[in-house]
Chain A
Amino acid sequence: MSDIVEKTLTALPGLFLQHQAAGGSGVPRVSVSSRLGSLIRSITALTSKHEEEKLIQQELASLKATVAAPNTTLRLMKECMVRLIYCEMLGYESSFGYIHAIKLAQQGNLLEKRVGYLAVSLFLHENHELLLLLVNTVVKDLQSTNLVEVCMALTIVSQIFPREMIPAVLPLIEDKLQHSKEIIRRKAVQALYKFHLIAPNQVQHIHVKFRKALCDRDVGVMAASLHIYLRMIKENPSAYKDLTGSFVTILKQVVGGKLPVDFNYHSVPAPWLQIQLLRILGLLGKDDPRTSELTYDVLDESLRRAELSHNITYAILFECVHTIYTIYPKPELLEKAARCIGKFVLSPKINLKYLGLKALTYVIQQDPNLALQHQMTIIECLDHPDPIIKRETLELLYRITNAQNVSVIVQKMLEYLQQSKEEYIIISLVGKIAELAEKYAPGNEWFIQTMNAVFSVGGDVMHPDIPNNFLRLLAEGFDDENEDKQLRLYAVQSYLSLLEIENALYPQRFLQVMSWVLGEYSYLLDKGTPEIIITKLYRLLINKSTTSETKAWIMAAVTKLTSQTHSSKTVEKLIQEFSVSLDTCMRQHAFELKHLQENVELMKSLLPVDKSCEDLVVDASLSFLDGFVAEGLDQGAAPYKPHHQRQEEKLSQGKVLNFEPYGLSFSSTMSSSGCTGRQSPAGISLSSDVSGNSAETGQKETNSLKLEGVKKLWGKEGYLPKKENKAGSSPELQPIAQDSTLVENVDQMIMKKDQSQALHHSEEEAEKQRLASTLFVGLGSESAVSLLGKTDTVSHKFRRKSKINDTKNREVTSTHNINCSSFSPLSNAPYEDNDHLNSFQDKEDIGLKKCSLGSEFLESGLKSESLTELHLVENFSACSLSPPSLFEDNSMEIFHPPHPTLSSFANEISLTSSLLEELNEHVHSDLVELCNNEMLKVSSCKIWKDDCLLLVWLIVNKSSLELKNMNLEITSTENFKILEHPGFCFPVIEAESTKSIQHHVQMEKLFTEEDLSGCVKYKVEEDPYIQLEFSITLSLLDFIRPMKICTEDFGKLWLSFANDVKQNIKISDSQANLPFALKTLQQKLRLHIVDIIGNEGILACHLLPSVPCLLHLRAHEGMAALWFRSSCSTLPDYLLYQCQKVMEES
């Protein structure tokens, strides 16, 4: 059949030309609607693109006029649509017609409607806004009694339909599943498939109906339902295991030729159906021996039946092999499948060979021997003229790479790389080479040379991780210090010789790598002073093709080197030259270098040799500027407000009334009080309050920056080029790397790399054999593990010094710590000593579990506390206070004071249990003993009620005597307000009994931590008063409560608050995960997580009684940008401090 088609088609262009020559008189077999016909003919007659454009624009103009004219008939409109489709296909925009296509679908008769729908499906995409206008038409047509109309509506729905309008048509389409015509049922299933793709949850309720479709008596309907099943099974195979039997039965019937002959394709029964079913069975049987068991027979049958040598049987065979290797393996079948793959690989047909290689690549990890069997074919394919075959072969080799064959394989890959022009290929191949080199490099030289090739060719298109990883590898080193030095030294030498070459152009990324390595490690060179290297770098710096980003890297390198030399003429020259550079960044760098150079001591301490892996302490809050800011404010300068704040204030002023009094004057007293207020909670200085964000202020006032300040910030990281460098830079200069130089380079490298293995690809068998032996070395005989290149975790040749493990461990411990201390605000005092906790190693797991449980409770709102949680809290605090024996799941025991006397024990229990009722409702701290003597003991407990802080004092009379005139007095301070009378008097406390007193405490003045002190006085018989003093520490957090608001309210509040504090803080790795960081804040500061959107989170809390504060947190590359807003001017600062503290702690 295809041959006939081909012949006919070949004959026809000639016919077409004749027809042209005949002047366009109608060809009978081509029914040409006149306008379109003449348009097509005239376009074909044109010779230049320009003419075509002119003609089409004319055509479009006339079409535009026609479709817009009110008297255009629908019939004419139909013609216009066809022509519009044609124009769009030629690449001309005709959006003016889209609305008319919809109209045509809506108003036309069948014939016009059909074209209208077609035009819509071609013009619009599923997110197009005009599509909404089609919904009504579709609904109407779905209800039509005319089958063709229903078909058309279903067809359009299956192609494009607005997701949000699915409910409007869903019931209608569901009805169609019962339609008597199979074509309608089939299209309905297809439409539901589309819905499942774009909005799976909307069709969840009709899964039963899918099952019905699967059992439909019509093959077409059943086949259509398989699309849905394939999709759903891909997402969740375990939910459909019960259907395995049905799928197997269907496949058996298909393979056995039980379907109508209509579905045969080149006398193969329903191949599309077979392939679909094979795929489904593969997904179901994956890692599931029992399900796989059911499929073995039918797979065997499929393999056997597919004996005919038509393409379509190969398609089925290929799918069969794939399935057999996907499901739980059965040796017999694997053997047959392997033979099958052999057929593909050895086939003279190139398409089949390609698929054979593809099959090998995914089979190779299970069965490396297969590669050995076909090694000669693989070698041949390596030199195949078709690059696609070559590439697939390389993919195969990439997966069998090991330490023995790495150099040959990488060489092959590099060869291929030289010939590739396509960016996508270069990127992926360069990535693979770098990965292999890192994993299996046989030696330093090879590694550096290979990476040089990677950088030269991959240049600026490759993934930025590659140079970053490479540098990190160099910097962090491996297990052997000596080996590290060798590698670094070799890198330095190799770069120096590369830079020696005149007029060589390297990609910018490569230059950056070079300059970093030279700056960092050229001290390893025995001979040669930094001066030589600086000169080389200087030459790069003045090279016109160097981008400003690279220049920043080079400057950093020069700066590092300068600290190692005494005086350098080149540096002097450089400073002089760039101090007047038009590039502001460069000018800044030059000035910095100049000033640093004047203070050699400082420079050396700032840029220590070979310390790139060590962390630098940076004062990110720019606290050194506070004095300057305060001074500025004193002199009447307006406080700096960041841009966003100004803008939002403007917005909020427009929208809501500002009930806050205007902060009119910024007199000196005010600002200084702001400053002190700011410093007091932190101990360390924090950024802004009235003065705004001092970080940003600092930037603003660059010219008055003191150098001292700069130095603190100016770590190595500071030198590393950041994006901003581009901002103020000169325009990007001419494209870099010219192909020829690159190729030359690679050539040289390859030549150097491995002389002995310079393989000539002659056709001689011997050569190939040798290649085979180098390529397939280590395959087969060795254990399979080493072959699994990709999944291999064992043999990283250039493994980083077990740092990963370290960090992991650290992470684990830190997680632990977080969890352990997650209740620290709940029981402040006892938690000083985390180490103590570590002695409970064996209990650790329990503790962790409990903590996380506890945090869930916290999350679920402090109200719904169960007794269990109480246990947990108590338990946990107890474990830090008391010996391990107390660590049991018994709340009674945990309420023990550390050394209870038996007598008072009972009392306390009774009292505690009466307290319990109240405690149960709220989170509370454990009981802390405040003071003690031989007669009496005072302990207290904080209860964090939703609306207040309740302090409960327990006074225990341990003696056998009555205590009289017992007075408890709380010293009043300005910080607190006690709602009740601060004193309390018990006329008598009986022997061995306990009394409790409660105080509601409010915060009067903001503080971080303050002591609340008091005393008890009592008399024993007629002796004079005995006085005991005590104090308890209250923290700000005792008065912070989560504020449960929704995102919308948050937004409103946010705009209405004028007090605003922003700060970037460093976060540890464990917190890089935003939800985790937020959880920490939630647990420790009791902030309510309002919402998490991407890498941003918003939280809300209020300070009792009702001062709200909102936090916006954005995590970005190890930094968290905290942004507080509140109606209170000082609260944000205090909270910021707490945030910083908990983030640092965890």
Chain B
Amino acid sequence: MQFMLLFSRQGKLRLQKWYVPLSDKEKKKITRELVQTVLARKPKMCSFLEWRDLKIVYKRYASLYFCCAIEDQDNELITLEIIHRYVELLDKYFGSVCELDIIFNFEKAYFILDEFLLGGEVQETSKKNVLKAIEQADLLQENQNEDWGGLSDDIL
């Protein structure tokens, strides 16, 4: 996978993960073009797009578009399922996820993504294992939060 983008129906980027080194300018250009192209497509249309020399696989969940770029010889359908699995993971983690969860806790969404996809390849296909890994890290986080509990939040 070359990159993954999450954006809203209004075209606002919610998450971006790039697995190929590109310049910021290039990234912005790609994002802009893709958001435009995908948003212009009608609901009954195919979930795949040929774009430059890449294949774009996208799917809309409520107000959010999940959009992946893969190479031509990659399997489009399984990419669609990767997106779905990611949504499932988010859903399980946040407990029935919504766009707001992702907006306000995007770093969590990134953590989950990193446990699921690593360097553009599926790392762990077992939902249980992914969530276990995240929970472990979160658990430590909470412990530390307790440690820090004595400090006031005022400095924030």
Contacts and interface: CB of A to CB of B under 8 A. Distances in A.
B87 A2 contact: yes
25 contacts: A1-B88, A2-B61, A5-B87, A5-B91, A6-B61, A6-B62, A9-B98, A30-B101, A31-B104, A31-B105, A33-B156, A40-B104, A91-B31, A93-B24, A118-B114, A125-B22, A151-B137, A190-B119, A190-B121, A194-B119, A220-B124, A220-B125, A262-B128, A351-B47, A386-B46
Interface in B80-115: 80-81, 84-85, 87-88, 91, 94-101, 103-107, 110-111, 114
Interface string B1-24: 000000000000111111101101
A9 B63 contact: yes
B46 A2 contact: no
A13 B100 CA distance: 8
Contacts of A159: 19, 114, 118-119
B123 A262 contact: no
Interface stretch (A71-79, A608-616, A745-753, A784-792): A71-79
Contacts of A91: 13, 28, 31
Nearest to A218: B129
Closest 8 A-B residue pairs measured CB to CB?
Answer: A9-B62, A12-B98, A315-B77, A125-B21, A262-B126, A315-B78, A8-B96, A10-B62
A386 B44 CA distance: 9
B96 A5 contact: yes
A183 interface: yes
Nearest to A260: B126
Contacts of B45: 350, 385-386, 388
Given A193-B119, A315-B78, A386-B45, A155 B114 contact: yes
Contacts of A12: 62-63, 98-100
Contacts of B22: 125
A118 B46 contact: no
Contact of B106 (A19, A27, A85, A148): A85
Contacts of A31: 104-105
Nearest to B155: A76
Contact of A272 (B47, B78, B114): B78
A265 interface: yes
Contact of B96 (A4, A35, A79, A350): A4
Interface in A42-93: 73, 75-76, 79, 82, 85-86, 89-91, 93
B156 A76 contact: yes
Contacts of A388: 45-46, 48-50
A15 B100 contact: yes
A9 B61 contact: yes
A1078 B105 CA distance: 61
Nearest to A126: B21
A524 B84 CA distance: 66
Interface string A154-172: 0100110000000000000
A111 B106 contact: no
A35 B104 contact: no
A351 B126 contact: no
A354 B76 CA distance: 10
Interface string A29-43: 111111111001000
Contacts of B107: 82, 85, 115, 118
A16 B99 contact: yes
A263 interface: yes
Given A1-B88, A158-B118, A190-B123, A114 B137 contact: yes
A386 B151 CA distance: 58
B119 A148 contact: no
B129 A183 contact: yes
B133 interface: yes
Interface of A: 1-2, 4-6, 8-13, 15-16, 19, 27, 29-37, 40, 73, 75-76, 79, 82, 85-86, 89-91, 93, 109-111, 114-115, 118, 121-122, 125-127, 147-148, 151, 155, 158-159, 183, 186-187, 190, 193-194, 197, 219-220, 223-224, 227, 260, 262-263, 265, 270-273, 275, 311-312, 314-315, 318-319, 350-351, 353-355, 385-386, 388-389, 391, 424-425
B55 to A, nearest CB: 10
Interface of B: 13-19, 21-22, 24, 28, 31, 42, 44-53, 61-64, 75-78, 80-81, 84-85, 87-88, 91, 94-101, 103-107, 110-111, 114, 118-119, 121-129, 133, 136-137, 140-141, 144-145, 148, 151, 153, 155-156
A148 to B, nearest CB: 5
A263 B125 contact: yes
A1042 to B, nearest CB: 42
A258 to B, nearest CB: 15
Nearest to A183: B133
A114 B141 contact: yes
Given A262-B127, A350-B46, A13 B99 contact: yes
A194 to B, nearest CB: 5
Nearest to B124: A220
Contacts of A155: 114, 118
A420 to B, nearest CB: 11
Contacts of B51: 424
Given A220-B126, A354-B48, A110 B144 contact: yes
Nearest to A34: B156
A318 B75 CA distance: 8
Given A9-B64, A125-B22, A262-B126, A351 B104 contact: no
Nearest to A423: B52
Nearest to A152: B137
A147 B139 CA distance: 13
B93 to A, nearest CB: 12
Contacts of A391: 50
Contacts of A315: 75, 77-78, 80-81
A107 B127 CA distance: 32
A113 to B, nearest CB: 10
Contacts of B14: 89
A193 B121 contact: yes
B126 to A, nearest CB: 4
A355 B76 contact: yes
Contacts of B48: 351, 354, 388
B65 to A, nearest CB: 11
B100 A227 contact: no
Contact of A110 (B61, B105, B133, B141): B141
A40 B103 contact: yes
| Most chain B C-beta atoms within 10 Å of own C-beta, residue among A5, A40, A73, A260 | A5
Contacts of A193: 119, 121
A5 B88 contact: yes
B59 to A, nearest CB: 9
A592 B52 CA distance: 45
